[in-house]
Structure 1
Amino acid sequence: MDDTTITWEEPFCGEGASCFRLGTDPEGNAYIAIAGAEDTYVTDSREALRALIRDIKAGKADHLL
């Protein structure tokens, strides 16, 4: 995947944790990366990453932040 096709959102920063960025591409894939290191990312379907983010925000995965 060519990184230039990923549209990155503004960073999301948790308290005392790394900042993450979410991105999407025209094909409907979703991406998550540490802010400042967008060339190294994890990709999955939008729904899979949406579920991960919901769990993090619900406190189910604080150890990831």
Structure 2
Amino acid sequence: MSHITWEAPFCAEGANCFRIGTDTEGNAYIAVTGQEDRPLTDSREALRALILEIKAGKADHLL
């Protein structure tokens, strides 16, 4: 696995924290804080699309 540069943790209410990271090969990663050794990975474009859809409210029904 490439070296991942992690952003600061994002925490919602309570202890639900996750981190977003990227590597120099164009991959993006999401991991639960403290479990960065087991991230989900996809392209940066896929991560960008996911974030835009969440911001647009398309995941609100999951809350």
TM-score by length of 1: 0.78
The residue number in structure 2 matching 1:24 is 22
Structure 2: segments with no counterpart, 5+ residues = none
Structure 1 runs not aligned, ≥5 long: none
CA RMSD of aligned residues (A): 1.9
Amino acid at match of 1:25: D
- CA drift of 1:33 comes to 0.5
Q: Larger radius of gyration, structure 1 or 2? A: 2
Q: 1:28 to 1:22 in 2, by over 3 A?
A: same
Tell me the residue number matched to 2:59.
61
Question: Identity of paired residues, percent?
Answer: 74
Offset from partner CA, 1:22-44 (integer Å, 9 cap, x none):
10111111101111111111100
Q: What letter corresponds to residue 19 of structure 2 in structure 1?
A: R
Moved over 4 A (4+): none
Residues 14 and 57 (structure 1), Cα distance of their counterparts in 2 relative to 1, 3 Å cut: farther
Partner of 2:34: 36
Number of residue pairs matched by the alignment: 62
User: Counterparts of 2:15 and 2:56 in 1: how far apart (Å)?
Assistant: 16
